[in-house]
Structure 1
Amino acid sequence: MSNLRGRLDGAWWPCSRDLTQELSALADTLDPLWGRVTRIAINPLHWPPVPLKVPVSGHVVKVGRLTELDPHQILLSSYTAGRWDLLVIPPETSAPAAARLMAAASGSAHSATTASSLMAAEQALHGGSEAADRGRDREEKGAADGSGHFGRPGRTT
């Protein structure tokens, strides 16, 4: 179930490492936009602990731990729209770095780029010099609903 294609549909920038809260908010936001999220898969490397299920408005979403999945990626499934592969931007990332990563993950020029290669390129080009105040960065990120997600909702597989 790993993403051998390397294609990303966008990015997700959670506010914290509380995966139960963050995944619930993400699925709740995406349900009306992309169709009901039925399953989420994440590599547990950067996310201890990973919940087995998360509550979403009106239903529960199962969460899988896939060590073969890129550790900087999340996979969301839906009966309606298929599969989405999103780059996971760490919560502590500065707003300028997150904006660059979101643009790169959703840009058509990078459709064959893996999540880990985008994270490595960001680190190589900009290093850790942008570890700015997290509260200010979250206000500047530009997501009107505060969910921390960004992507291309139209792709299905």
Structure 2
Amino acid sequence: MPSTLIPPPHAPAASPGPAAEAPPVRLSLPPAGDHPRAVDGVWWPRSKDAAAELPGLIAAVDERLGEMTLRVGLHVDAWSDIPHRIPAPGRAVRVGWFRAMDPERVTLIVRGQKDVTLRVIPPEASAESAEAALAGSAASHGATSAGSA
């Protein structure tokens, strides 16, 4: 199955008029049950603001794997504005902050799955290098490139 860019859930408009749609999450992740590696996929966030980036990532992983993310772990010094919890449909996802964790990784605890570890491409990475990493991840699990947005 191909890896895809998954659009985040639509947020209600803050004011009358059409709501601006958030850009898709830049994620390469194989389907559920196909995670035999130390790093399961690649994520290219648009910023280091965990509060802004994690809701879209959680929604994308939930959609891709068909299960709910219960917890997210990340390196405390690699991110700004790290909340204790992220609101998600029907729950609040706990966020753990760690210093012993690789700053270039994010780990998600997903119900019914083994831990999902994503390599984080720095937001400031060039589109060329980030797209190559996303495509390489997709190719390593027999899928097509996630592309870019």
TM bracket (short chain): 0.5 to 0.7
Q: 1:60 to 1:28 in 2, by over 3 A?
A: same
Post-superposition Cα deviations, 1:15-68, rounded to whole Å, max 9, x if no partner, equal 122211210111012212211000000001221332111111222100001111
The residue that corresponds to 2:113 in the other structure is 81
Name the amino acid aligned to 1:142: G
- The answer to whether the aligner puts 1:46 opposite 2:71 as a matched pair is no
CA distance in 2, matches of 1:23, 1:33: 15
Gaps (5+ residues) in structure 2? 1-36
1:49 aligned partner, one-letter code: D
The equivalent residue for 2:64 is 33
> In the superposition, relative to structure 1, how do residues 78 and 13 fare at CA in structure 2: closer, same or farther (>3 Å)?
same
Partner of 1:3: none
Asked whether the 8 Å contact 2:49–2:80 carries over to 1, the reply is: no
Percent of matched pairs sharing the same residue: 31
Higher relative contact order (CA 8 A, sep 6+): 1
Correspondence list, 1:138-153, <5 A? 142-143=147-148
SS in structure 1 of the partner of residue 122 of structure 2:
coil
If each structure's helix is expressed as a fraction of its own residues, which one has the higher value? 1
Whether 2:82 is the aligned partner of 1:23: answer no
Q: Aligned with 1:41: secondary structure?
A: strand
Assess, with a 3 A threshold, how the Cα gap between structure 1 residues 67 and 107 changes in structure 2: closer, same or farther: farther
- The answer (yes or no) to whether the contact 1:52–1:62 under 8 Å persists in 2 is yes
For 1:17 and 1:27, locate their aligned partners in 2 and report how far apart those are by CA, in whole Å.
Answer: 15
What stretches of structure 1 of length at least 5 have no aligned partner?
Answer: 1-5, 110-140, 147-157
Give the superposition deviation at 1:108: 3.9
TM-score (norm 2): 0.64
1:124 counterpart residue number: none
1:62 to 94, 99, 116: 94
Letter in 2 for 1:58: G
